[in-house]
Amino acid sequence: MDFSALIDPVSAVVVGGGTMLATVLRAGLGECRATWATIRHLASREFDEDALRSDLARMVQDVRIDGLVRTEPYYFRDRASQQAAEAMIEARSIPLFHKQMTRFRARRVADNRRAFAVLAMAAENAPAFGLAGTLLALSQLPADPGQGMNAALAGAVLTTLYGVLLAQLVLTPLAEAIRRSGEAEEQARDELMRWTAWQLEGAVVHPLPLPDAVEAA
């Protein structure tokens, strides 16, 4: 098979550009930007379960030993945990930590669902623009069958092929990868949060130490 015959930049632009434009028009620019951010999160693998477990264990140890009054903010490698820990220490409230983590969880789940929906929509658009490219190529068939007939027919077939491949080998697998990755991440986070809640249960907020002069009095 001559794979070079399967390369047609014009057909790729028609299918890819049309799919992208239709998806932006249907979903909206904001939804597409959020989807791109979710794809980058998937590609970068920002979530590190072992690192988060280590950081949470350190936070639990500090809170149980020193209490929230003496505990100082420190760096979490996970952004959501960092912000939740800062809010907890500032407000001296352990329940606030869990409340913030629940809020971030809801936001992540919503982002993943949004990205899945947008990519599923794009997967629906791709075959349609493959067909549109086919019709466009067929409309350009020469009146004389001997002049460029094969090239026009090849372009018509390739646009349909590109639409199917884009939908089934790129967009749909990407949507499923986001869904699976999101579910796995939330399951790991839920287990860590249950462990953290159990470790912090009954933790005492130690009072500030009194100055020597007050103690002496």
pLDDT tens digits, 118-169: 999 999 999 999 888 888 777 766 656 555 566 667 667 888 889 999 999 9
Task: Name which of 120, 118, 119, 105 is nearest 47 in CA terms.
Answer: 105
> CA-to-CA distance for 46 and 201, rounded, in angstroms?
29
Q: Is the pLDDT of residue 213 over 80?
A: no
Q: Domain limits of the chain? A: 10-205
Structure tokens at 53: 């477990």
- Indicate yes or no: pTM above 0.75: yes
Q: Is 83 left (phi over 0), alpha (psi -120 to 50) or beta?
A: alpha
> CA-to-CA distance for 188 and 201, rounded, in angstroms?
20
pLDDT tens digits, 155-172: 678 888 899 999 999 999
Residue for token pair 């789940």: 109
Chain CA centroid to CA 131, Å: 30
> CA-to-CA distance for 61 and 58, rounded, in angstroms?
5
> CA-to-CA distance for 95 and 14, rounded, in angstroms?
53
